[in-house]
Structure 1
């Protein structure tokens, strides 16, 4: 037993095994982080289901039903006959202007924060005389008296007030639903009737008071689309197919402008049926919360193997250089205290800002390890050494988390420096004649 106690190879094997064993609770904490993040998402979905989901304004556009004729062969009586099918033409506006203000607010579900918003949008534009010649459809087959002005809206529960359409100075009421699912699956519609033989420009405008959660997106259906949005929210994320041409973001909020041409998207101004999809061209605003503590905690735990490995390496060098024996159980307890840091970080960051939670958790863990090392090594100098090394490691990880774009670069440089220090301090050790009892 004494030989095993002082055998350097047995010691290295034991330390390695303990380090690998401690990765099991590390994986369990990663699963816990995912579970807590899922719980947060569930809270967001619950609030959104009652307030209004993420919203995308698709349109407006005009859908016009028409009759198409196809040959159909009947196997029953071996007769080929012509069958009339009702489909829809879709016409996009020549000019589309959207301006509005978004008023976000935070809601709470338990310990979780959710961003919801009220928006007031003014939508206006023009339709030129419809050019249907390119579609090879007979004018008499087009049902102009059944055309619908359609605005696609993801969640109709977000509409707060009755919506009316001003069509060439004529007021038309909207109804719920869409005439066809060719382009959108949910929205509102207004019935129109025009004379196809009159060469005329049609002007429209409407106001839309819309509630939603976290995201507000639009589709650039106009031949020229101009959108201007403003808000008091100071932490927006501009996402989707197009970024703003001009934007101003400060502590008082943001203002953003988009100008998009029909040449910038991959669908025409008029088509029949479901030949094209407008969804890939959507863009808009994500109203982000300033801190995502779960993502940062998950990123920090990816360095757990570095903490465990480097701490055990320091303990091992202390044993080798100072002829002090540290029991495997003491390695395990020190390793577990390093793992507990991440549970502290996860739980505290749900109530405090992440940076403050990191500092509190790091100080608590360092204090615990310092007290334990002082008790087992009986040396203030060695205690300060180990605590200082761990403090540098925590600072290193903290910096990496803050510098997300440069995390790989800083991490690689840090690991290179650590490896260099280990090689420097171990350069004079005679590994062939080493033992843990001080005997020559």
Structure 2
């Protein structure tokens, strides 16, 4: 390979490396705008209500236990009496939740957050053992009024007056779950329970709940059944348990979860929570739905810019082919101008997608860059046909890039096949080229 061509290749390599600077700056801008969007969504949630988690109902029985401890001091043995305050907690035998959610957009400036309004009906049954399941001397215990607690992560989202139906009685809920390990929520006192015999308590209540982004449910029942439907056609199912069945259409979705204590082990997790205050395991055994927006322009812009260096390298490779095959001379400044135009495509894509949506922004940005570069190359390559042909090839590359961004599951496969095909085209076009004599007319 002659010296001139080697110098030209070195300059092209330096240009490609130099273009990393604006690409990194644009990538940082994408992250900055995404963080700004997230902070605005957080502010909207702060003004209305955050993502919600429903934990309960749980039957809580506060008690005071008198404990007698023998101690020895100064050679004397005596008995010391102290009172310990704690509570018992019972999970329901059955837990059924039926919820129907409607979503809406709340905007602040150019940013939007998706809120939901879930109308839920919760029902089931508690099965409580005689004497609260205590095998010790009952004379040491002083039980206070039991209550049924429901954990709701952000009680600002409650949109109705809550009333508990319990064995035919109507009981009012009060604010606060009454126990630290449930966090925020509501509770309803249940006086007059006959604890000497085994009890069955049928419960039911309606809950209208507003939240932002996600809705979680803790499957507290020995047998739990949750049915959730919404008018949102792009649900993301999250948590430790996927739906046992689901149906998704362009008008919304229906999902059903079914769990048991065998799969959740909630009793052991609750016991550790009550006795040792280690409640992370209990609170994390949840499932739910994420009301995600499938067209996240920032995520797709971030994915697009990962292909930017490859895009620029392929374009420069096309220039280089014109130089060696057509014995043309393209100045490094002309390489640089086309490279900057390719980099600015991602800035246009980011700025337009915040206002027009990703698909339309991509089409307008790609069309503008193809038109500008095609017009410029008609003069650089001294031929309108060559310039328009190169612009058409660039348009095909943009179309392929959009296909890669849209086909998330097959992006790696499609990208590998594309690179292999382009390498094959390059090898076929240069199969008879004498690289030792190539580029004699190329100026560095």
TM-score, normalisation: structure 1: 0.91
Aligned pair count reads: 434
- Counterpart CA distance in 2 for 1:381 and 1:66 is 89
- Counterpart CA distance in 2 for 1:113 and 1:397 is 27
After the TM superposition, which of the residue ranges 351-360 and 154-163 deviates more from structure 2? 351-360
- Counterpart CA distance in 2 for 1:346 and 1:221 is 44
Q: 1:409 to 1:72 in 2, by over 3 A?
A: farther
> Offset of 1:82 from its aligned partner?
5.8
Equivalent residue for 2:62?
65
- SS of 1:350's equivalent in the other structure is helix
Give yes or no for contact 2:130–2:199 (8 Å, CA) kept in 1: no
Q: Where do residues 139-218 of structure 1 align in structure 2 (5 Å cutoff)?
A: 139-182=138-181, 184-193=182-191, 194-218=193-217
Equivalent residue for 2:29?
32
After the TM superposition, which of the residue ranges 368-377 and 319-328 deviates more from structure 2? 319-328
State the Cα RMSD in Å: 2.7
Equivalent residue for 1:116?
115
Equivalent residue for 1:255?
254
Q: Where do residues 300-379 of structure 1 align in structure 2 (5 Å cutoff)?
A: 300-379=304-383
- Counterpart CA distance in 2 for 1:260 and 1:376 is 68
- Counterpart CA distance in 2 for 1:354 and 1:74 is 77
Q: Deviations over 1:398-431 (max 9, x none)?
A: 1111111011111111111111112222222222
Aligned counterpart for 2:18 among listed residues 13, 18, 21 = 21
Q: Where do residues 391-406 of structure 1 align in structure 2 (5 Å cutoff)?
A: 391-406=395-410
Give yes or no for contact 1:65–1:142 (8 Å, CA) kept in 2: no
Equivalent residue for 2:100?
101
Unaligned runs of 5+ in 1: none
- Counterpart CA distance in 2 for 1:239 and 1:305 is 35
2:409 paired with 1:390: no
2:6 paired with 1:9: yes
Equivalent residue for 1:433?
437
> Offset of 1:145 from its aligned partner?
2.7
Give yes or no for contact 1:72–1:83 (8 Å, CA) kept in 2: no
Give yes or no for contact 2:379–2:387 (8 Å, CA) kept in 1: no
Equivalent residue for 1:278?
282
Unaligned runs of 5+ in 2: none
- SS of 1:7's equivalent in the other structure is helix
TM-score, normalisation: structure 2: 0.90
- Counterpart CA distance in 2 for 1:230 and 1:343 is 39
> Offset of 1:147 from its aligned partner?
2.1
